[in-house]
């Protein structure tokens, strides 16, 4: 019998199937894309915006680290953490665009901002699919 705790930290079988690897690669690719676009946005626009400059770099570091750790460990806990990271990034954008965040309100959004929003939404969907596949195989 598998407990809830062991399912969260359960390592995938040593031999991951081709379709599952495609899921992990897609997840990692979307995380990397989000991180690199945020790095670019930080470089061209946000490096001088107090508080947001650091938050953009934290998002970059976490997204890139999550991608690497996901590919190495293939653990459900990493998948769930990645979902939270992408959802949190979307919430941050929505707050910045509407009511403001940390005293900053975004009055203009470039096409790149909307592109990364789509990438993050796609990442959430793909990560949920990965989590479901992991839970199915753990049964």
Q: Evaluate whether residue 1 is within a structural domain.
A: no
Q: Evaluate whether residue 9 is within a structural domain.
A: no
pTM of the model: 0.87
Q: Evaluate whether residue 4 is within a structural domain.
A: no
- Say what the pLDDT of residue 15 is: 57
Please compute the mean of the pLDDT values over residues 111-134 and round it to a whole number: 96
- Say what the pLDDT of residue 12 is: 45
Q: Evaluate whether residue 3 is within a structural domain.
A: no
Burial class (CB in 10 A: 0-12, 13-18, 19+), 13: exposed
Q: Evaluate whether residue 117 is within a structural domain.
A: yes
Statement: residue 136 has pLDDT above 90: yes
Arithmetic mean of pLDDT over the chain: 90
User: In terms of residue numbers, what domain contains 54?
Assistant: 17-138
Statement: residue 13 has pLDDT above 50: no
Q: Evaluate whether residue 6 is within a structural domain.
A: no
Q: Evaluate whether residue 59 is within a structural domain.
A: yes
**% residues pLDDT > 90 (the chain):** 73
CB 26 within 8 A of CB 8: no
Q: Evaluate whether residue 47 is within a structural domain.
A: yes
Q: What is the pLDDT of residues 86-100, one digit of tens each?
A: 999 999 999 999 999
Q: What is the pLDDT of residues 23-63, one digit of tens each?
A: 999 999 999 999 999 999 999 999 998 889 999 999 999 99
- The domain total for the chain is 1
| Other Cβ atoms within 10 Å of 46 Cβ, number | 18
């Amino acid at each position: 019998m598998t407990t809830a705790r062991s399912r969260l930290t359960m390592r995938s079988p040593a031999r991951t199937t081709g379709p599952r690897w495609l899921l992990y690669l897609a997840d990692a690719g979307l995380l990397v894309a989000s991180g690199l676009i945020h790095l670019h946005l930080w470089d061209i626009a946000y490096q001088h915006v107090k508080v947001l400059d650091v938050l953009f770099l934290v998002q970059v570091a976490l997204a890139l680290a999550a991608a690497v750790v996901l590919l190495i460990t293939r653990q459900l806990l990493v998948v769930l953490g990645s979902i939270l990271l992408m959802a949190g990034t979307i919430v941050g954008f929505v707050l910045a665009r509407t009511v403001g965040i940390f005293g900053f309100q975004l009055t203009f959004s470039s096409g790149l901002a909307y592109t990364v929003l789509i990438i993050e939404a796609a990442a959430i969907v793909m990560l949920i699919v990965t989590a479901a596949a992991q839970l199915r195989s753990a049964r």
